[in-house]
Amino acid sequence: MPGEFDWAQSITTAKEENLSLFTRIAVMGFVLVSAAAAPSLAAIRARVSGDDGYKIPVGPDEIKVVSYNVENLFDNKDDPGKLDATFLPIGAPSKKTECPTLKPQYRAQCFNTDWTPAKLEIKLRNLKMALEAQGPMPDLLALAEIENAAVARMFADVLGYKEILVSDGPDSRGIDVALFWRPEKLALAAHKSILVPKMTTRPVLKALFRVRAAQSRKAGGDLVVFANHWPSQAAPTPNRAAVARLVRREIDNDVKTFGPDYKAIVMGDFNSIDTEIPHPIGDVLLDPKWKHTMKDAHSLSDMSDNPMNGVMPNGTHFFSGRWNRLDKILVSPALHDGAGMEIIPASFRVVAPELITVQKGKHRIPWRCDHNADDPRRAGFSDHLPIAVKFRLPN
C-alpha cells in the first residue's frame, strides 16, 4: 500500500484534542461533528447508534449490492495520454505541461493539488469507513470515478476483495468503472467493456455471473450486471440518452439468448436529473412501453414498508439546494416478479450516516473529498452517497 499512516495514533490524538466548532474527529472508526471539545465516549456511542438503520445485514440466502461514486479515486502515477496531472504530487513534470491546457476553472486545482501516497491511503481508508457504514461488505460492489486497475486493486485489498473487474475506456481523464464481488455467491462467467460510439466517455462494464444460491451454494441461475458512469451534466442530455439506448439494445439482445427469465441489474452513476427531456432513464430504461422495462430500486423502496423511508435522503447527490438521484440500481422484470431471485425493496438504503455527511442548512449532505487534506479527520469521503439493496436467492 502507498504511504504509511498511524491510524490508532490518529484516533487517540483526536480524542484528546480540544477541537473547534464543526471540526471533524475520528473516534472508533466514526467521524462526528464536535462542539468546543471532543465529545465523551458515551456521547459518541449515543450518536453513532442513531445510524444503525443504515446497516444492512445479509444472510446466506441473500445477496447485497452496493453502488458508489468514489469521487476521483486516482493513483498518484502519471498515466501517459490521460489528463491526470491534477492527481499527481507537486513537482511532477506533467503538472507543468498538462495543467495549463485545462479549462480555467480547473487549472488552479491542478497546480495546487499535492496527491501524495499518504493522501491516497487516507482516501482509501476513509472510503472503506464509508462503505462499512452500510454493514458487512457487499457481495457485489459497483464503483464509479475510479482511475484504473492499479488503484482499483489497492482499494480491493483495503476492502478485502480478491475478485475485481475494471473497464478500460477512452475518457480523457482516464476514469473508469469497476466491479468487486464475493466468489462465495457469485462466479464470473464472462465480461466486456461496451464503448459508447462517437464519445470519449466511460464505457459500460458488463459482466455475466453465475449465482450460487443457498443450500451448499448450488447453481442459482445467471445474473447480468451493467456498471455505469454516464456523461456528466456538463454534456447535453442526448449524450446520456445515447448510453441508455446502448444498454437497452444490449438487454434486448440478451433476452433473445436468456429468455423471459433474464435477470439484469443496471447500476451506477447515471448523472441524470429529473428535469431532462426526453429523460435518459425514464423514457428509455424505465419506458413503460418497452416490454423489458426495468424497475428503480429507490422507487420500489418508496412504495414499500422500508423503515428508513423519510429518514434517509431523497437522493445521492446535493447540488444547488436540491437532492438528485444520480446513482441508481435498476432491475429487470424477472427480479421483481415474485419468483426465483428477487429484489427486497424494503432493504434499499441511501447510506447517509453522520460519518460521511456534513450539515448544510437543514440538510446533511455528502462530505466531499478534500484531496489536499493530510489528516483523515478533514479529508472527507465523496460528493456522492452510496446506495445499497438486497436480493433474495432461490431456495
Residue 27 binned pLDDT confidence (cut-offs 50, 70, 90):
very low
> What cell numbers appear for 155 in the block?
482499494
Cα 194 to Cα 334: distance, rounded to the nearest angstrom: 23
pLDDT at 297: 98
Cα 317 to Cα 229: distance, rounded to the nearest angstrom: 14
Average pLDDT over residues 87-94: 97
pLDDT digits (tens, 9 = 90+) for 189-200: 999 999 999 999
Cα 42 to Cα 175: distance, rounded to the nearest angstrom: 42
Residue 274 has pLDDT above 60, yes or no: yes
Question: Rg of the chain's alpha carbons, rounded to an integer?
Answer: 21
pLDDT at 213: 72
Residue 342 binned pLDDT confidence (cut-offs 50, 70, 90):
very high
Quick check: 27 and 376 in contact, CB under 8 A?
no
pLDDT digits (tens, 9 = 90+) for 317-327: 999 999 999 99
Alpha-carbon 46 to chain mean position: 28
In DSSP notation, 279-311 reads -TIIIIIS-TTSTT--EEHHHHHHTTT-TTTTT
Cα 287 to Cα 295: distance, rounded to the nearest angstrom: 10
Average pLDDT over residues 351-379: 96
Residue 89 binned pLDDT confidence (cut-offs 50, 70, 90):
very high
Q: Which range has the worst mean pLDDT, 202-216, 261-275, 366-380?
A: 202-216
Q: Which range has the worst mean pLDDT, 18-32, 188-202, 365-379?
A: 18-32
Residue 32 has pLDDT above 80, yes or no: no
Instruction: Name which of 392, 390, 372 is nearest 122 in CA terms.
Output: 372
pLDDT at 212: 87
146-159 burial, b at 16+ Cβ within 10 Å, e below that, comes to bbbbebbebbbeeb
Average pLDDT over residues 36-46: 41
Residue 218 binned pLDDT confidence (cut-offs 50, 70, 90):
low
pLDDT at 5: 41
The residue count of the chain comes to 395
Q: Which range has the worst mean pLDDT, 38-52, 127-141, 331-345?
A: 38-52
Cα 220 to Cα 395: distance, rounded to the nearest angstrom: 9
pLDDT at 219: 59
pLDDT digits (tens, 9 = 90+) for 110-131: 999 999 999 999 999 999 999 9
* Average pLDDT over all residues of the chain: 88
Which amino acid appears at position 215 of this protein? Q
pLDDT at 394: 84
pLDDT at 26: 34
Residue 42 binned pLDDT confidence (cut-offs 50, 70, 90):
very low
Question: Who wins on pLDDT, 10 or 273?
Answer: 273
| Ranges assigned E (strand) in 154-201 | 163-166, 176-181, 186-194
pLDDT at 221: 87
Quick check: 264 and 245 in contact, CB under 8 A?
no
pLDDT at 9: 40
pLDDT at 29: 34
Q: Which range has the worst mean pLDDT, 10-14, 63-67, 241-245, 353-357?
A: 10-14
Residue 150 binned pLDDT confidence (cut-offs 50, 70, 90):
very high
Cα 155 to Cα 129: distance, rounded to the nearest angstrom: 12
Residue 30 binned pLDDT confidence (cut-offs 50, 70, 90):
very low
pLDDT at 217: 53
Residue 49 has pLDDT above 50, yes or no: no
